[in-house]
Structure 1
């Protein structure tokens, strides 16, 4: 995929490859660092559109880089927590159609502290039109 920014991470000098292994990279970009220091992505080197397309090897290599990234981020930034996860397809929040795993250090003093990946399932404002609560 010639135009995919994650297939060609070296084409974007502002992205820093922090770690890599056989099938994946752990990247950080200055734009993300400007908001929450340490935030980064683990991406497969091969073009895979979503997390559901990853091979077993890519899963294993993602896990390895996640552990490496956590050790680094813990030592450099001492976050109070983490948000991690995958977005899938545009409605799920995926803006680049190449699978990527977010590792986001979280800090007690940030304005959105405590808002994790489940925040949208806890919000009545996100209820789908015409859906009625089944909780008694």
Structure 2
């Protein structure tokens, strides 16, 4: 894809490849709010998680375990949010599959409020 931001991840200022394997990368960009967070992305352009190959799924699993060990050692988080957004309505803003890995800390204002909290909000009820 000529215009995909994750196909050209090296053009993001400040972003670095922390880990990589044959199929996926773990990228981090300095964050002021989501300290330690990053993305696992496939090297090949895949629009959503549903488009990953079996090899990419397996490589993502291996990478996720490596990333957790690294983040535990570097940041000592108290929990994690890990997830995929798919398509615009699902919150995906870049059409290249990416797994969010977000360390969470008990002293955060939103500690204890994960994905389920937002989904069950009465303000989100369909008309």
**TM-score over 0.5 for the pair:** yes
1:61 corresponds to which residue?
A: 59
Q: Distance in 2 between matches of 1:36 and 1:14?
A: 15
1:14 corresponds to which residue?
A: 14
Q: Distance in 2 between matches of 1:110 and 1:69?
A: 21
Q: Distance in 2 between matches of 1:66 and 1:107?
A: 19
Q: What secondary structure is seen at the aligned counterpart in 1 of 2:56?
A: helix
Q: Distance in 2 between matches of 1:48 and 1:93?
A: 16
Deviations 1:22-46 (A, max 9, x none): 010000012xx21121100000000
Compare CA radii of gyration and give the structure with the larger one. Answer: 1
Matched pairs, number: 127
Q: 1:1-136 alignment to 2 at 5 Å?
A: 1-30=1-30, 33-129=31-127
Q: Distance in 2 between matches of 1:126 and 1:12?
A: 33
Q: What secondary structure is seen at the aligned counterpart in 1 of 2:14?
A: coil
Q: What secondary structure is seen at the aligned counterpart in 2 of 1:108?
A: coil
Unaligned runs of 5+ in 2: none
Q: CA deviation at 1:7?
A: 0.4
Aligned CA RMSD, in angstroms, stands at: 0.9
Q: Distance in 1 between matches of 2:51 and 2:37?
A: 24
Q: What secondary structure is seen at the aligned counterpart in 2 of 1:118?
A: helix
- TM-score scaled by length of structure 1: 0.90
